[in-house]
Amino acid sequence: MTEDANAGRWSPDLVTARKKSRERWARHFFGSPVALISLVCVVGTLLLAFGADVVAPRDPLAQNVLERLQGPSWSHPFGTDALGRDVLSRVIHGTRVSLAAAVSAVALAALLGVSVGIIAGYVGGLLDELLMRIIDSIVAFPAIILALAFVTAFGATLRSVIFAITIVSMPLYARLMRAQILSVKETDFVLAARATGVTPLRIMFRHILPNVLAPIVVAATLGMSYAILAEASLSFLGAGVQPPTPTWGGMLNDAARYIHTNAYMTVFPGAAIFILVLSLNYLGDTLQDAMDPRSS
């Protein structure tokens, strides 16, 4: 990109502009304790997912009937479930399904949505009309029920869960991208590129895409929290990744049977979902403010 070419020239304007933008980022992320805590929570969850085998005190699948349905104690800080499995270890291992589903689904949905949005926005005409009507139909239907139908049709596996969440999240990126393209398409720099004979493909990827990516990044961060909630809901309904693999939603589904006798069982997996989703939402909001030069 042109930015790299200019970087070597040390134009004084550019240096100050960059310094300012870096300051703005630092102010947004490190000036607010809540943003910092959110960042720590998200990074922490990522580390837990990667290091679950090392961090978790026990085997999340090991059953011990003698220790079933125990409250929190020193040996089981989060207590044990109906099969005597250690809830803390299961919550830690639960990060894997949550993050695997959310990260893959958001990446796929963004990729698919951005492609559809670019094509619809740039090509326009009948193709645009057709693509947008399909998108409208997906949106017209409650996401959770559509996702449920997908998982029923293709089996309750991680792959179908990812596929289901991808389909229901894709419209957001497609609409966002299309709107961005439409607003940038007629700007002078795109017209200039077209006038000098640059190919449409190159215009799309080198001239338009870098200019409209910021809102997509924000949407993807917020989309992660949505995907985590969706995965947990499917697991709660028994339509997610199947037992014995620990999932937060699945653990809550088990816990629902014991609310009369072992209410604490609902606390930890639910809190894990809540904290991660809240952190991602807050980060998304912060990112949005940081990327918007008008906010101060």
Partner 1 sequence: MLPFLMRRAVGMVGVLLIVTIMLFLLMSFVPGDPITARYGMDGSSLDAEQEAALRKEYGLDQPLPVQYMSWVRALLAGDLGDSIQQRRAVTAILKERVPVTLQISGFALLLSVVLALPLGVVAAVKHNSAWDRLVSGLALAGVAMPAFWLGLLLLILFSVKLAWFPVTGFTRLTTDPLEALRSSFLPALTGALGGTTAMILRQLRAGLIDVMRQDYIRTARAKGVRPRTVVLRHGVRNAMLPTVTVVGLATAHLLGGSVVIERVFNIPGMGRLIIDAMNARDYPVVQGVVLVITIFVVLVNLATDLTYAYLDPRIRLR
User: Counting contacts by CB under 8 A, is residue 133 touching partner 1?
Assistant: yes
CA distances from 31 to 27, 37, 291 (A): 5, 11, 15
Q: How far apart are CA 293 and CA 17, in angstroms?
A: 11
Site mask for partner 1 (CB under 8 A), range 40-69, x = bound: ------------------------------
CB nearer partner 1, residue 73 or residue 152: 152
| Contact range with partner 1 by CB under 8 A, out of 63-71, 147-155, 195-203, 204-212 | 147-155
Size of the site for partner 1 (CB under 8 A): 40
* Out of 225, 247, 286, 288, the residue judged to bind partner 1 by CB under 8 A: 225
For the chain, state the CA radius of gyration: 23
| Contact range with partner 1 by CB under 8 A, out of 2-10, 15-23, 174-182, 270-278 | 270-278
CB nearer partner 1, residue 104 or residue 286: 286
Say which residues have a Cβ less than 8 Å from residue 101's Cβ, sequence separation at least 6: 158, 161, 162, 165, 227, 228, 231, 241
Among left, alpha and beta (phi > 0; psi -120 to 50; other), residue 187 is: beta
Give yes or no for a contact between 236 and 250, defined as CB atoms under 8 angstroms apart: yes
Torsion of CA 10, 11, 13, 19, to 10 degrees: -10
User: Counting contacts by CB under 8 A, is residue 157 touching partner 1?
Assistant: no
Give how far the C-alpha of residue 92 lies from the chain's centroid of Cα atoms, to the nearest Å.
Answer: 19
Question: Taking Cα atoms as reference points, which of 78, 48, 73, 98 lies closest to residue 266?
Answer: 78
CB of 292 to partner 1, least distance (A): 14
CB of 149 to partner 1, least distance (A): 5
Q: Residue 249 carries which side chain, given as an amino acid letter? A: G
Site mask for partner 1 (CB under 8 A), range 201-220, x = bound: --------------------
User: Counting contacts by CB under 8 A, is residue 255 touching partner 1?
Assistant: yes
* Out of 155, 200, 244, 293, the residue judged to bind partner 1 by CB under 8 A: 155
| Contact range with partner 1 by CB under 8 A, out of 42-50, 70-78, 109-117, 142-150 | 142-150
Binding site residues, partner 1, CB under 8 A: 133-134, 136-137, 140-145, 148-150, 152-155, 225, 229, 232-233, 236-237, 249, 252, 255-256, 259-260, 263, 266, 269-270, 273-274, 277-278, 281-282, 285
